[in-house]
Each structure stands twice: as C-alpha cells, then as structure tokens.
Structure 1
Amino acid sequence: MQVEAFLICHAATDSGRGHLNLIGTFDAIYAREIPAVQQQCALVLRVRFERIERRDHQIQITIVDADGKKAGPSPDVTVPVNFPDTLTSSAFNFIFNLQQMRFEGFGEYQIDLAIDGRQEMSIPFSVREMPNQPQMQAP
C-alpha cells in the first residue's frame, strides 16, 4: 500500500474513471476572529493497493491541535478494495467532504491519516488571523 496523495482543498471530485479533480489546495485558514469556521472543504486521499491487499480496509482521519487534542471531525470508514486479477495494483480515490469545520483558536493543527490502525501520513496546516488591510485615504 502506498499513499499517493493526501491533501486538503476547497473541493474535489472523482470522475469514476480514476481521475481525481482538485480545486484550491491550501495549508492555512484565515479568519478575523475565533472561533474560525471553514464553511466547506475536502480531505482527499489517493492510495495504491497491491493485489495481495485486496480486502476491506479501515481509513481513519483525525484533526488535532498543537497539543494533540482532537480539533475537528474524525471520519472513520471501512472501504472495500477489489480489482481485477489482471492488475498487479490499483489506485483508489477517497474524498471526505467536511462542512462547518470549527477551530477554537489560532495556531498549528494537523490532519492524521491511519489505514488499518497504522499511522501513514500527516498534513500540517494552520489557522491564522486575517491580516489587517491598510485603510485607503481619500485625496
């Protein structure tokens, strides 16, 4: 098993033919105040499985703050992995659409990915205060 992609973005679709379409990948959320709410985003995962790994797999995603405390939704799903004997491996796309993600403080966060109980990857991201825009002065 090999994780080929693990990203956070504004939106994603899967064509059904293996094409993964991403819009607006990011690693920071900007907010004027806390709590910060991300209206919508997608966690995108593309994993290549070998023939010997054809079976159900458990995928767990956990969002944690800098102290390691849970800080958001934690999708936990079991997915069937099956493909024809003629292939030695096959890539599978998984899209987790999240809405109204709420963050209680500015700072560093990370999204952890575990497959079958084993930590595979992490994505660091941050929630930052929106910089003040300079005021335009009338002539």
Structure 2
Amino acid sequence: MLKLLYAHICDTAFLSQNGNLNLIGIFERLYAKKFPVVHPRLAVITNLTGEVGKHTQEVKIIETKSKTEVSRPIKMDFEIKKENQKLRFILDIVNLTFKAEGDFQVQIILDGELAQALPFKVSTPPKPIPRGK
C-alpha cells in the first residue's frame, strides 16, 4: 500500500543542486481576464512511500461539478526498491486550457485509489478598489 506524504500544485518546481525541493507559486486560485484561457504551466508535486514493489501514480485534473477531465490523465509506473524509501515526483503540465471559470481539482490516484484531491478555483480577477474609498 502507498502512503502520500504530501502533494502540492504550483507554478513551477525544481530540485536544487543539493537536492532540495523548490516550489514556486503554490496556489489555490488562478485568474484570467477572459475565457477560454491557456495556463502556460502547472506543476504537481507528490512525495510518497510504501511497500516494496511495483506501483502506479495517476494524476487527473477535473472540473469539480461535472467531473469533466480538463486534460488527459497522466499515469506513471514506478518501483519502490527498499523499505522506507521515499519518492518525489515533479509533474509539469503545460498549456492547460480552461474553457470557463469554475472549481477544479487535481486528483492524485495511487495504485487505483484516490489518495488526495487538491482543489483550486479559476476565475476572473476581483475588481480593484477605487482610490480614496
């Protein structure tokens, strides 16, 4: 059985030369002036551990109400080779199209079971507050 230790969505993520994980722009909301809109890049980061053996991780991005997939699911096969091994994954998704504003979620599915759903909103930006008020 796999255990998800953490998961984040952000603008970009990378490993530094010394192996530190760097997350830039963790978000729960994206803004767009008009729709449809193409978001240039979104990173999904997961850290997990589990039983020795072969496993799968699948990432889906869906519109929450309709359960419509925003992009094709991304499935990765991997192997845990030793007990207590921790694995980090950085998944970059580019040119993601949102047809309309709404509530969305990134679903992390481990060995066929939903491990976590990370919610986020896509909307028009709030109107600025007039000066002097």
TM-score (norm 1): 0.83
Gaps of at least 5 residues in structure 2 are: none
What CA distance in whole angstroms lies between the structure 2 residues aligned with 1:131 and 1:80?
45
Q: Which residue of 2 aligns with 1:33?
A: 34
Maintained 8 Å contact 1:18/1:91? no
The structure that has the greater radius of gyration is: 1
**Equivalent residue for 1:119, pick from 114, 118, 131:** 114
What CA distance in whole angstroms lies between the structure 2 residues aligned with 1:61 and 1:118?
11
Letter of the 2:6 counterpart: A
Q: Which residue of 2 aligns with 1:128?
A: 123
Q: Which residue of 2 aligns with 1:104?
A: 99
RMSD of equivalent CA atoms: 1.9
Matched, 1:10 2:8: no
Q: Which residue of 1 aligns with 2:81?
A: 82
Letter of the 1:97 counterpart: D
Gaps of at least 5 residues in structure 1 are: none
Q: Percent identity?
A: 23
What CA distance in whole angstroms lies between the structure 1 residues aligned with 2:31 and 2:49?
33
Residue correspondences, number: 129
**Equivalent residue for 1:60, pick from 51, 58, 61:** 58
What CA distance in whole angstroms lies between the structure 2 residues aligned with 1:121 and 1:91?
17
